[in-house]
Amino acid sequence: MAPAEIRQAIIDILADIAPDEDLTDLKDEVSFRDQMELDSMDFLDIVMELRKRYKVQVPEEDYTNLDSMHSTVTYLTPKMVACA
């Protein structure tokens, strides 16, 4: 997957997890938690959806890499190369 496709995949996951959030003005460099009302369970849902939809494993020690859209796309790009 290309970075733009990964970004859209993350937006799709966020829309499912937090359907009341407006994701149109999501800033790439700002933490998801600073932009949205996400709690730790929502964050785990993101990790679980990545595993379920794309077979991507995110070890707990790497959770900090999923802080913002930019860091998430950067982290996932090499992991999602084979995803289509």
Q: What is the pLDDT of residues 15-71, one digit of tens each?
A: 999 999 999 999 999 999 999 988 889 999 999 999 999 999 999 999 999 999 999
Number of domains in the chain: 1
Q: Is residue 9 part of a domain?
A: yes
Residue 68 — φ and ψ, nearest 5°? -130, 170
- For residue 53, the tally of other CB atoms under 10 A from its CB is 13
Q: Is residue 84 part of a domain?
A: no
pLDDT tens digits, one per residue of 2-18:
999 999 999 999 999 99
Q: Is residue 48 part of a domain?
A: yes
Q: What is the CATH number of the domain that holds 30?
A: 1.10.1200.10
Q: Is residue 63 part of a domain?
A: yes
Q: What is the pLDDT of residue 81?
A: 80
46 and 14 Cβ atoms separated by less than 8 Å: yes
* Residues 1, 10: Cα–Cα separation, whole Å: 12
3-state secondary structure at position 74: helix
* Residues 47, 51: Cα–Cα separation, whole Å: 6
Instruction: Write down the pTM of the prediction.
Output: 0.90
The whole domain housing 40 covers 3-79
